């Protein structure tokens, strides 16, 4: 029974790592998107185009010993930049862009990759242990 608990825990770790990586990839892909202003609950701009909201992945343990990755809005969700040529620039030439630091995203992606690999190694080891047990019992 302990082996299956380890597999379930490792599978939840694999899923959490995949969610973390997906979230980070979304942040990177939307680094130049139009973002919602800080403090705003708007999801679209005046033309009905979606506003991007930067999210951070938070991993936590579950009561069953697994891992869960949840997403929370970054604080602040956006930063203002001076870009008077942007179509969404206000009268002062300021635009709202997602609060995405590419350095942080690279670290998050490397961390998610290592988390994925470690949990996959746990699953492989459990599989080998199952095989050895079956060989002994046969």
Distance, C-alpha 110 to centroid of its chain: 12
Looking at residue 138, what is its pLDDT?
82
**How many domains is the chain partitioned into structurally?**
1
Looking at residue 1, what is its pLDDT?
52
Give pLDDT tens digits for 72-113. 999 999 999 999 999 999 999 999 999 999 999 999 999 999
Q: pTM, whole model, 2 decimals? A: 0.86
Give the structural domain span for 31.
Answer: 2-137
Question: How large is the average pLDDT for residues 42-66?
Answer: 92
Cα separation, 62 vs 68, in Å, equals 7
Q: pLDDT band at 4, cuts 50/70/90? A: confident
């Amino acid at each position: 029974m302990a082996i299956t608990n380890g597999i379930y825990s490792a599978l939840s770790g694999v899923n959490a790592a995949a969610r973390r990586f997906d979230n980070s990839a979304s942040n990177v892909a939307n680094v130049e998107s139009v973002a919602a202003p800080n403090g705003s609950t708007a999801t679209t701009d005046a033309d009905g185009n979606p506003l991007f909201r930067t999210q951070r992945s938070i991993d936590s343990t579950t009561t069953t010993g697994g891992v869960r990755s949840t997403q929370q809005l970054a604080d602040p969700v956006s930063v203002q930049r001076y870009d008077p040529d942007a179509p969404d620039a206000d009268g002062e030439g300021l635009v709202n862009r997602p609060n995405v630091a590419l350095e942080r995203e690279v670290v998050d992606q490397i961390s998610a990759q290592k988390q994925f690999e470690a949990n996959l190694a746990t699953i492989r080891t459990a599989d080998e242990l199952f095989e050895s047990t079956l060989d002994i019992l046969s």
